[in-house]
Amino acid sequence: MVRASIGTLTVLGLRDIRMDAAPTTAYLMIGGQCSSDCVYCGQGRNVAGDHSRLSRISWPEVDEDRLIVAFAAHPGAFQRVCFQTTASRGVFRQLLSLVPRIHQASGLPVSVSYRATRDEEAEQLLDAGVERIGIAIDCCSERLYPTIRGGTLADAKVLVKSLSEKHPGRVTTHLIIGLGENELEAAELMLEMRHAGVLVSLFAFTPIQGTQMEHANPPPLLAYRKLQFLLGLLDWGNEERFCVACDDTNCIRSFGLSEVQMRSLLNRHFLFVTHGCPGCNRPFYTEAPGGTMFNFPRIRAETAQGEIDQFIQDLKTDGFEFAERHNSEGRCSFAGGMLRCVGGEKNQNARTDGG
């Protein structure tokens, strides 16, 4: 069984819906009923009712051969193909057969979200034409991981980091913000992944009907924006020196940058667009058209400045500290509850647990 996101099918001419933004990556999904039971996921084995949704998106089934023909007939329609998979029998074999066909028909780089637990599996996927392998960590909190996702965050990190060590520059992970983690936990995990060479893609939690978290709320936008900003600092970190300072409620209170420095980074790189593998924009995965836009699928000059101004204003209202915090050696000198500094010769950590 192959499914494709409704937007993907529309770009390929196989469906016809009105779209506010077209996907720049073709999103496919393979696998049957998932054997995992992540409490937030619409594919979990105990989810009641409809399994055709992942995040907010519907994924109709499509005939494999029809899909191949459609890709060949629409050169240049996408920048990438991404396979999402469920933990179910036969998925790995199906990937090995389908990836080369799609890669050949489309001529596009391929990402695969698949929990490769043995390196031979990763090797086989890369040999089959996969450019990037994604292993979703999703939950940023060690406290919550066993109940929300099963297993431990520590084991998930080992898996992702060891894969990245063996295949540098080819590993992506997904983190979902809004599963009950605090900002410090999310920031620490983002820093750890980044230092391991793993590309981090952020998702905002979105409640799915039939799941145990169907009545939970999406994350506060300001918390999400701060983490997007941190991701931007990590991407463009050579240009800025910064720190991540948290208060005693584990909220980020400063990046050790002035308002001018923060605006400067945001004006050069609009950090609120979807962050992921090159070409991935995931339109409306986690937001309703007209609702809160956690990830923008594209940059629109006419709205970007307003979003930046709103972010800065919300930070001020929240009591965020904008002071530049560097001492003469270029290190962040924020004193209260500093998580760590990035930039300069070395990372510095007030709790001396290394960067």
Q: Which residues contact 297 (CB under 8 A, 6 or more apart)?
A: 21, 23, 24, 273, 274, 281, 282, 283, 284
The answer to whether 276 contacts ligand SF4 (rule: CB under 6 A) is yes
Q: What is the DSSP letter of 296?
A: B
What would the two tokens of residue 108 be? 């596009």
Q: Distance (Å, rounded) from C-alpha 306 to C-alpha 272?
A: 12
Q: Which residues sit opposite 176 in a β-bridge? A: 203
Interface residue with ligand SF4 among 189, 223, 230, 280 (CB under 6 A) is 280
CA dist 224 and 251 (Å) reads: 11
Shortest distance, position 250 Cβ to ligand SF4, whole Å: 26
DSSP letter at 200? E
CB of 84 to ligand SF4, least distance (A): 7
Q: Is 5 in the site for ligand SF4 (CB under 6 A)?
A: no
Alpha-carbon 263 to chain mean position: 23
45 vs 3, 22, 93, 148, 213, CA distance in Å? 18, 30, 21, 14, 14
Residue 286 in contact with ligand SF4, rule: CB under 6 A: no
Among 45, 174, 195, 263, binds ligand SF4 (CB under 6 A): 174
Query: Smaller CB distance to ligand SF4: residue 255 or 294?
Result: 294
For residues 99 and 257, which CB has a smaller minimum distance to ligand SF4 in the complex? 99
Pick the stretch among 37-45, 232-240, 272-280, 307-315 that binds ligand SF4 (CB under 6 A). Answer: 272-280
Sketch the per residue contact string, 182 through 211, with ligand SF4: x for CB under 6 A, - otherwise. Answer: -------------------x----------
164 is a site residue for ligand SF4 (CB under 6 A) = no
Interface segment toward ligand SF4; rule CB under 6 A; list 8-16, 49-57, 188-196, 275-283: 275-283
Binding region for ligand SF4 (CB under 6 A) out of 38-46, 277-285, 309-317, 347-355: 277-285
- Map the footprint of ligand SF4 across residues 300-339, applying CB under 6 A: none
Q: Are 77 and 11 in contact (CB under 8 A)?
A: yes
Start-to-end CA span in the chain (Å): 43
By rule CB under 6 A, what string of x and - marks binding of each residue 72-111 to ligand SF4?
A: --------x-x----------------------------x
**Which of residues 172 and 348 has its CB atom nearest to ligand SF4 in the complex?**
172
Nearest-angstrom CA–CA distance, 262 and 312: 9
Compute the half-sphere exposure of residue 173: CA atoms within 13 Å on the CB side of its CA.
31
Q: How far apart are CB 171 and ligand SF4 at their closest, in Å?
A: 10
CB 58 within 8 A of CB 113: no
H/E stretch holding 228: helix 221-235
Distance, CA of 78 to CA of 71 (rounded, Å): 9
125 binds ligand SF4 (CB under 6 A): no
Q: Select 11 or 222, whichever has its Cβ closest to ligand SF4.
A: 11
Please report, as ranges, the residues that interact with ligand SF4 according to CB under 6 A. Answer: 25, 80, 82, 111, 113, 134, 172, 174, 201, 276-277, 280, 282
